Every structure is written in structure tokens, then in C-alpha cells.
Structure 1
Amino acid sequence: MSNSRTFDPAGVLFGIGVPALAAAVGLTLTLLWAPRLPDNIATHWSGTDPDGYSTPWSLAWTMVIVIVLVGCGASAIAALAGALLMMRRTMLLVGLTVVGLLLTLWIALLAAQLDLASAVSAELPMTWIGLGIGAGAAVGLVGASTLRDHRERSAATMAPDPRLPRGPVNLPITLRLGLGPATTAVLVGVGAAITAGLCARAGSWWPLAVFVPVSLLAVGLLRFRVTLDETGLWVRNMGMTAVGYGVEELVGADVEEVNPSRDFGGWGLRLKGRGNYGLVTTTGPAVVFTAANGQRLTVTTPRAEELAGALNALADRRLGGA
């Protein structure tokens, strides 16, 4: 079965449409509020005192450029239907979080200086930074949940090679990979301590408003649940299917020794060349799922032999080979 879709409509809407809408909202507010703003507004602060100024429209076009280049530049990848679903979701979350931050900060800078005779007395609206990050991440999460996997799929026509592992089909098998509870607790604890110090130094809660959404996003993106059931092998992340292959696509499942740094250039859900994906979180055995369309999915786990045996046995059963 083949899917020739080039663009994911949900990805176009959220990855391109939302940043464009954010830029339009900022420009509209600048146009409406310009008569009530000083000729030069504060755009940079040193401590509590402004030390950088620009015209409202100079700020507006700067924000538009940054939203388009940084925010939309990241989130637009979500529109590419053939790209790895997990990558598209991650980039959409990151991009819209940046867009939320920039738009909220833009609005806050303008709102804080409405009806001021001079921007010299303007105060930096730091509280809005955390709110913007949270709002952008929330929209990004909604958008990520609407993305779908439009990759090309092909059904295998032959049973896996007889030399590949076979084993009992005791399903489902569920694995938890990535950051464990202890590592998560340490990382969040260290981050929380640093944030508490920043809050005390700033005399404000705004660093906490930044820390909470960023930490939730980071932890969520680094924890995975892998499930092998009668239908195939599936990797879920943040409650959504990140990548998965049906058993009807299986050419063969093998076991290999994998080192994340050496073989995939890092840790987590990785891409090594076109169509070669890896969920690599430890050094050691990994089950390697090869699909009929030529793609591979490598998952590091001590139970690699068990998963490979069950997958090949499932494929045999489907094709009547065993």
C-alpha cells in the first residue's frame, strides 16, 4: 500500500497557519495601538531600567521576521507528510512554544507602554514570558495530536528468513524506555532548585512560569512506551503514537548490538539516513524491524531477542509460513 501525500493538512494549519496568524495579530495590535504609544518604545532592559529603544513598527517587523524564521522555520516541518511523525511533532511543539513566547512578549511590550508620555519609565513585563511559553506549548500539543503518519506503507509478500529468531507469541509486550523515574526526579529537582534561586533573585515568580512548561515538555519528549501486540510494533510518546509498523509490513526482525553514540550519533528517537530510525536509549542488544518499504526501526532493549522472535513468529502466522 502506498501513500503519495506530500503535505499533512493539520501540519500546514498548525505549523504554518498559526505562526502566520500570530504575526498578523501582532501587526494588527501595533496598528491599533500606535497612536497611544510613545514615538520610541523600550525594547531592552538592564536590570529594572530600559536601555534600548525602537519605534513600534521597527519592533513589529523585527518580531515578524523572528516569528517567521525561528518559530515558523521549526514548526513548518510538521507540514511535511513524509517526515518522521515524532520529529514533526517535536518541531511543532518547539516552534509553537517559541511563537507563543514571542507573540505574548510583543503584546506585553506594547500594552505596558500604552498612554506613557515617555518609555523611560516603562517596566519589563517578565510575568508574560512564562504565560506565553505555556500558551504556545499548549497550542503546540493540540496541533501535535492532530498530525498523522502519512509515510509510504508496503505489505511483505514473504515470511521472514528462517535463520532469524523465532519465539513464543506471548502478547502484548510493553516496555518503558528513556528517562526513568529516578533520573527524571534528579533532573527536575536540580531544575527546580535553580528556578527557585532565580525567583528569589528576580523577586518574581516568572522563572517558575518558564520552568514548568519547559520541564514538562522536555521530560515528555524523552520518555517512551513501546508496545508489541498482534498488530505490530508501536512507539508512543506523550500519549501519542510516534512511530509504528504493522506486522503485515515486516520483512524480518533481527537482533543487533547497538551503541547510541557510535551508531546513531546520540540518544533518544534518532534518524540515521533516509528511512533508518532508532529508539536508542542504552548500549546493548536491540531489535531491528525491517519493513517492506525498506525502512528500519531499531529499539534498544534487553528483551530484544524476545521481541524479534515474537515478531517473526507473527509474520509466519500471517503468511501461513509456520
Structure 2
Amino acid sequence: MGESARRAVGPLVALLAGVIGSVLLALWSGDLPDDVASHFRADGTADRFSSVTELIVLTSVTGVVGAVIAGVGAYFVKEPVTSRIVAALGSGTAVFVIAVTVWITARQRGLGDSTEATAPAWVMICCALLAIVVAVAVAFTTPVHAIDYLREAAVGDVPVSGDGRRTWSGTASGSAGGLITVGATVAVLCGLGVVMANWFLIAFAVIIAVAGLALTGSVQVRVSDEGFRAASKIGWPVITMPLSEIRRAEVVQVNALRDFGGWGYRVSGRRHLRGAKGFVLRSGEALMVVGDHRRELVVVDGASDAAGVLNALVSR
């Protein structure tokens, strides 16, 4: 598949979802109540109703809007990571909204009174899983616009070690802010789950807790003849860049909120750090490893020493 065809995957998926959803709703119109349940309370009972025509219009518009967003990401956003994220969000969100609309409508075929319709949590979960699969597939299919970071001036110090060391290792630890954010999110979700007697929310809180600890806990960082590696203690996420792909290492000052919008495994969209991604567990001095087409970053004590060793290895 050529590059142009791969860029079109995200927009086409969203448009296809809109077309299929609209056709199915139109074909089912004779089997549906005059007013179809279109929104549900937390307990799964209907509280809002729409005509089939309104649902068809909503589905069509959702497909078009999703395609436009995915197209902007695939064709116009130049930063590699952001490009894939925008394309994935456009197609994945469209698929989720359309899948939910079609599925809960299908459950009302042959129903005499739409007030009897329900939308169990497992329907939402299945639609969400489908949307995630689609978004991931689109993200990996969409080709990136290569950015030659080597041509850009360094945005931080570029130290070189002169003591002959060939390895460096350290641990990047999380800040109280990141842990508090994860804890507060988990507490709110658990509280809502208990109040609403919704085990899905409680299970989701557990997933958030595990993922949050993985992303905001601690990270092992190593520089050696093999290159650069940074990984959480559970082994994922992990960043690796072989020495042959490294062009230089820089030391930059990072503000987690201002430059990356928070803590964890992040991507920056801010000015000189635009496109840099990696582990930002707190604010402070960061090691940024620059390749031809990517910049990987980790905020860690001893970033200057790490950069010095890595630059010495690269110069050899």
C-alpha cells in the first residue's frame, strides 16, 4: 500500500462507518418505534428520544466530521506523533459514536414502546473496544511526515564527557503532583461506581490505577554502547534508541504542566520541544536524545552526566 493510500485509511474508515450506519438505520426504519430511545441514564434506562431521520443525520455527520479530523491529522499535521494521534482520534471517535447509535437502535427493532429500551454497560464496552482497535490500527497505518531534527539547532546544552565512561544509569522518580492526580482520579471513579452501583466504573478505576502507576511511578534509564533505553519498572512503556540512530544528546529544562500538559508518558506540543516525547514524571532537568527524525526525553537526576556520556559515545 502506497503512502497516499495509507494516509487515506483514517478518513475512509470514518466515512465508511457513517455510510454503513446510515444505511442500516434506514433499512430498519420500518421495524422501529416512531421515537427511538437515543440517550440513557447511568442505570441503562432511556431518558431522551429521537426520530430515525435524526439518527441517520447524526450518524452521517459524525462520519464526515470524523473523516475531516482524521484527514487533518494524516495530511496536514506535520509532527509525527501528533499526526497519528489526531488521525486515530478522528476515526476512532466516529466509529465509537456510530457503533453505539447503531447497536442501541438495533436493540429496539420490533419494540412497541421505546421507553422499554435499555443500553447495558457491556454494549458501551464492546463499542469502546472496537473503537480502540480501529484507532490503534489507523495510528500505525498512517505514515508520518519525517522531520529532520538534526538540521535544527540544539534547544539545550550539549555536554560531552571526558572521563572515558561508557555507561550511565539512573532512576527517574515521579512527583507528588502526578501521584496525587492518579489517586484523585481513581478515588472519584470508585466513588461514582459505588454511588451508582456501577461495577464497570470501579473496574475502570482499577485499570486507571495500574496504568497510572506504570506511567507516573519510576523509570529506569540507561546509556551505553548499545544506545539509550528508558523503561518503567513493569517494562512498558519503553523507549529505545540504538547508538547508530543517535545524533546528539541535549539537556533541557522541562515544566511538566506547561510543556507537556501533565505527568507520565507525554508528547509536547510546545514551541521548541514540539514533538519531543517520553517520560515526564516531574519538572526539572531532562535528558533529550535526538535522532534524525525523533526526539526522546526523560526527566531524570544526572541528565547532564548522561548526556555527556552519550555524546562521547556518539563522537567515537
Same fold (TM over 0.5): yes
Aligned to 1:300: 299
Which SS does the other structure have where 1:31 is aligned?
helix
Decide whether the 8 Å contact of 1:19 with 1:72 is kept in 2. yes
Q: Which residue identity lines up with residue 13 of structure 2 in the other structure?
A: V
Decide whether the 8 Å contact of 1:85 with 1:243 is kept in 2. no
Aligned to 1:3: none
Aligned to 2:32: 37
**Distance in 2 separating the partners of 1:245 and 1:273:** 27
Decide whether the 8 Å contact of 1:230 with 1:247 is kept in 2. no
Do structure 1's residue 58 and structure 2's residue 54 form an aligned pair?
yes
Aligned to 1:86: 81
Decide whether the 8 Å contact of 2:167 with 2:222 is kept in 1. no
Task: Please list, as runs of the form range in 1=range in 2, the aligned pairs for 1:118-157 lying within 5 A after superposition.
Answer: 118-147=113-142, 149-153=144-148
Aligned to 2:159: 164
User: Root-mean-square deviation (CA), in Å?
Assistant: 4.5
Task: Please list, as runs of the form range in 1=range in 2, the aligned pairs for 1:176-195 lying within 5 A after superposition.
Answer: 186=183, 189-190=186-187, 193-194=190-191
The Cα of 1:315 is off from its aligned counterpart by: 2.5
**Distance in 1 separating the partners of 2:145 and 2:238:** 13
Aligned CA distance change for structure 1 residues 118 and 291 (closer, same or farther; 3 Å):
closer
Unaligned runs of 5+ in 1: 1-5, 157-161, 318-322
Aligned CA distance change for structure 1 residues 155 and 260 (closer, same or farther; 3 Å):
closer
Q: Which residue identity lines up with residue 281 of structure 1 in the other structure?
A: L
The Cα of 1:152 is off from its aligned counterpart by: 3.2
- Identity over the aligned pairs, expressed in percent? 21
State the TM-score, normalized to the length of structure 2. 0.70
Unaligned runs of 5+ in 2: 152-156
Aligned CA distance change for structure 1 residues 248 and 51 (closer, same or farther; 3 Å):
closer
Which one of the candidate residues 108, 115, 118 is aligned to 1:113? 108
Aligned CA distance change for structure 1 residues 285 and 217 (closer, same or farther; 3 Å):
closer
Aligned CA distance change for structure 1 residues 7 and 86 (closer, same or farther; 3 Å):
same
Aligned CA distance change for structure 1 residues 114 and 63 (closer, same or farther; 3 Å):
same
1:268-292 C-alpha deviation (Å, 9 max, x unpaired): 3212226644444322222244567
Q: Which residue identity lines up with residue 8 of structure 2 in the other structure?
A: V
Which SS does the other structure have where 1:285 is aligned?
strand
**Distance in 2 separating the partners of 1:75 and 1:29:** 23
Decide whether the 8 Å contact of 1:48 with 1:123 is kept in 2. yes
**Distance in 1 separating the partners of 2:215 and 2:67:** 20
The Cα of 1:184 is off from its aligned counterpart by: 9.2
1:12-60 C-alpha deviation (Å, 9 max, x unpaired): 31x2222122112211211221121123322234676645332212112
**Distance in 1 separating the partners of 2:315 and 2:174:** 31
Aligned CA distance change for structure 1 residues 289 and 240 (closer, same or farther; 3 Å):
closer
The Cα of 1:92 is off from its aligned counterpart by: 4.7
Aligned to 1:273: 271
The Cα of 1:62 is off from its aligned counterpart by: 1.1
Aligned CA distance change for structure 1 residues 290 and 85 (closer, same or farther; 3 Å):
closer
Aligned CA distance change for structure 1 residues 243 and 163 (closer, same or farther; 3 Å):
closer
**Distance in 2 separating the partners of 1:286 and 1:182:** 19
Which one of the candidate residues 249, 255, 258 is aligned to 2:254? 258
Which SS does the other structure have where 2:8 is aligned?
helix
Q: Which residue identity lines up with residue 312 of structure 1 in the other structure?
A: N
**Distance in 1 separating the partners of 2:77 and 2:236:** 21
